[in-house]
Chain A
Amino acid sequence: MRIIKLSNQIKKRFIFLIIIFFCFSFSIFLISYSLKDQIAYFVSPEDIRKMNNIDDRYLKVGGLVKEGSLKFDDNQWNFEITDESKYVIKVVYTKSLPSLIEENKGIIVEGRMGKDNLFIAEIVLAKHDENYMPQSAIDKLKEEGVWRGN
């Protein structure tokens, strides 16, 4: 085993690399910090409530489809999006929904706020969470009475 002696050359190269790395990561940090509203993909209904002038702005709203609100009539989908704050946004959508859209499940709608606080969606995406389990595991949890969900 060779004993490594840290010569001045090695120290100099190491410090050079550390400086490059930290300058670069600091600049990336500043960029992403100042752009954090743009990097965020969607806002919650609660954020929409706090916004002032949202007329005609292209918005992406994410939340849960409210239970009992998903209906199809007059050739368009009507549903409501909500979150923990219980603030509700009514949405209409004229195209076909992704197959995973269900009540009490995650959703992202993109579009503009129309009149009467009715959100006219141009794109609807399903947002699923990071929990994966088979139906049998859910049945077992339901038997034990610890299943929270629908």
Chain B
Amino acid sequence: MLAINPNILSRFLNSISQFVIILSVFLICVAGVLIFFLENDYYQGISFKIMFIHVPAAWLSLMFFFIMGTSSIIGIVFKSPTAFTIARSLSPIGLLMSILVIITGSIWGNLTWGTYWVWDARLTSMLILAFIYLGHNLLLFSFEHFQKADFAASILAIIGLVNLPIVKFSVDWWTTLHQGSSVFKIGGPSLTTDYLITLLIGFFALFLLCFYWFASIFYIIIENRKIERAKLFND
């Protein structure tokens, strides 16, 4: 990542994006059919099926923040424009995923718990993550020179990394209304195999869709900078 020229990475991402979106649409169709034909949960009935959007979106919002944070560290330490641009293009996608988590979680919560929102540790830390994403997005557009914006937003992303273990382990450290982890837990996943496979297919489908968005945003940012530079040169 240090030695990669952003222009070369941009061209590479643009060349594979067609393939990624086709695979993603295919996997979304497969996941949709699987979710439709899956048996309902014995306790929650059909409402648990919202999990197959909620959980992948939650994993992705955490994963993207982790990638954003680490590439911000690399960007600041090694002054790497590629790392900064990766963080910049992941930011809106992560914001979208965290909003998706909160909306699907609220619907699920109203169907099962009997409330849209409570201030327990998991829900609150997830809301904080969404607000850090929002702040990161806004910081990226609040400076005249994008280098300054990248630096400021990177500091926020690095500080925000502290929140990731809190979101992940909040259900273990404190008592919460939110249930514990089903997949990454001691003693193996507490789902039946057909649920787990559907969940993983749903995750890869959403991941590839997000990767397509990431590749597109990365490409657009690099192309825009080329145009800006050309304008500057012509003046």
Which residues on A are within 8 Å of B, measured CB to CB? 1-2, 4, 10, 13-14, 17, 20-21, 24-25, 28, 32, 36, 39-43, 62, 97-100, 105, 108, 123-138
Residue contact B185 to A41, C-beta cutoff 8 Å: no
Residue contact B43 to A41, C-beta cutoff 8 Å: no
Q: Pull 15 A–B residue pairs with CB atoms less than 8 Å apart, ordered by A.
A: A4-B2, A13-B76, A14-B73, A21-B158, A21-B162, A28-B166, A39-B174, A43-B175, A62-B175, A128-B44, A128-B113, A129-B179, A130-B181, A130-B185, A132-B182
Known A10-B78, A130-B185: A24·B43 in contact at CB below 8 Å: no
B residues near A42, Cβ cutoff 8 Å: 175, 177
Q: How long is the Cα–Cα vector from A36 to B76 in the complex, in angstroms?
A: 34
Residue contact B76 to A133, C-beta cutoff 8 Å: no
Min C-beta distance of A142 to chain B, whole Å: 11
Residue contact B174 to A127, C-beta cutoff 8 Å: no
Known A28-B166, A62-B175: A135·B39 in contact at CB below 8 Å: yes
Known A124-B114, A133-B192: A1·B159 in contact at CB below 8 Å: no
B residues near A132, Cβ cutoff 8 Å: 41, 44, 48, 51, 182, 190-192, 195
Q: How long is the Cα–Cα vector from A24 to B159 in the complex, in angstroms?
A: 7
B residues near A24, Cβ cutoff 8 Å: 159, 162
A residues near B174, Cβ cutoff 8 Å: 36, 39-41
Min C-beta distance of B38 to chain A, whole Å: 8
Which residues on B are within 8 Å of A, measured CB to CB? 2-3, 38-44, 48, 51, 73, 76-78, 112-115, 118-121, 155, 158-159, 161-162, 166, 174-177, 179-182, 185, 190-192, 194-195
Min C-beta distance of A137 to chain B, whole Å: 5
Partner of B161 from A21, A108, A135 at Cβ < 8 Å: A21
Min C-beta distance of A119 to chain B, whole Å: 17
Residue contact A105 to B113, C-beta cutoff 8 Å: no
A residues near B155, Cβ cutoff 8 Å: 20
Min C-beta distance of A15 to chain B, whole Å: 10
Residue contact A134 to B114, C-beta cutoff 8 Å: no
Q: How long is the Cα–Cα vector from A99 to B110 in the complex, in angstroms?
A: 10
B residues near A97, Cβ cutoff 8 Å: 114
Known A41-B118, A133-B191: A98·B113 in contact at CB below 8 Å: yes
B residues near A21, Cβ cutoff 8 Å: 158-159, 161-162
The residue in chain B whose Cβ has the minimal distance to the Cβ of A25 is B162
Q: How long is the Cα–Cα vector from A2 to B155 in the complex, in angstroms?
A: 27
B residues near A28, Cβ cutoff 8 Å: 162, 166
Residue contact B3 to A127, C-beta cutoff 8 Å: no
Q: How long is the Cα–Cα vector from A134 to B41 in the complex, in angstroms?
A: 5
B residues near A137, Cβ cutoff 8 Å: 42, 192
B residues near A123, Cβ cutoff 8 Å: 115
Q: How long is the Cα–Cα vector from A126 to B48 in the complex, in angstroms?
A: 14
Q: How long is the Cα–Cα vector from A129 to B191 in the complex, in angstroms?
A: 11
Residue contact A138 to B190, C-beta cutoff 8 Å: no
Min C-beta distance of A39 to chain B, whole Å: 5
